[in-house]
Amino acid sequence: KQEVTQIPAALSVPEGENLVLNCSFTDSAIYNLQWFRQDPGKGLTSLLLIQSSQREQTSGRLNASLDKSSGRSTLYIAASQPGDSATYLCAVRANFGNEKLTFGTGTRLTIIP
Amino acid sequence: NAGVTQTPKFRILKIGQSMTLQCTQDMNHNYMYWYRQDPGMGLKLIYYSVGAGITDKGEVPNGYNVSRSTTEDFPLRLELAAPSQTSVYFCASSYSSLTNTEAFFGQGTRLTVV
């Protein structure tokens, strides 16, 4: 059974710093991995999706990497801003045709002005 | 751009009552899902559907029912509400193709059973 872990559960950093969020999964046979952002009391917003054949994806100040063999993904946020404060979730999809996502429990990020 | 729309946003139910959580999407996605999110537990899949007329159980289906009569709508039914069903419920949808499986989520329904 696939298990997805995100450590730490919470992280606080000063504004302007670069930071890395971690996601690990136990079964390396994944189809893709998706990073989401969740603001308090809100739904999930998709940030980046990495296919299993890819090593990284970039969107603005965000860069997500994937190392399937070691069961790890990282989300790099450059030049953090207070507006980046949110909970960040990663989720893996097992294989094509099996569209169920297995989620981690998230990292709650606070950017200190 | 409506995306995935859920109603209601909040609801308080008494034990034993029933209700339907509504979900509709306007992106013509074939896949739709219902997840519940409990504090510190991550999202758990309740039911999903790969297309109109087809539904299947997820990890935690007990106490729930779904139907998918159209591509756009995927309601979730609670027949006999229990305190264990207090949670935040999220509906999501996605395509299923080799190059596009990105999932989109609604804003959630916060349900309290008392």
Residue B30 reports pLDDT greater than 70 = yes
* DSSP code, position A30: -
What residues have CB less than 8 Å from A57, skipping those under 6 apart? A48, A49, A50, A63, A64
Whose CA is closest to B25, among A61, A43, A24? A43
Per-residue model confidence as pLDDT tens digits over B57-88: 998 999 999 999 999 999 999 999 999 999 99
Contact A43 B50 (CB under 8 A): no
SS3 B104: strand
Please say whether the beta carbons of A36 and A89 come within 8 A: yes
Average pLDDT value for chain A: 93
Residue A7 reports pLDDT greater than 90 = yes
Whose CA is closest to A36, among A98, A106, A96, A95? A106
Residues of chain B contacting A, Cβ within 8 Å: 4, 31, 33, 35, 40-43, 45, 48, 50, 58, 90, 92, 94, 96, 98, 101-108, 110
Residue A99 reports pLDDT greater than 70 = no
Per-residue model confidence as pLDDT tens digits over A24-79: 999 998 989 999 999 988 889 999 999 889 999 999 999 999 999 999 999 999 99
Strand ranges, E, within A1-113: 4-5, 10-14, 19-25, 32-38, 44-51, 56-59, 62-67, 72-77, 86-95, 98-103, 107-112
Q: Choose the mutation target among A99, A102, A103 for the interface with B, i.e. most B CBs under 10 Å.
A: A99
Residue B98 reports pLDDT greater than 60 = no
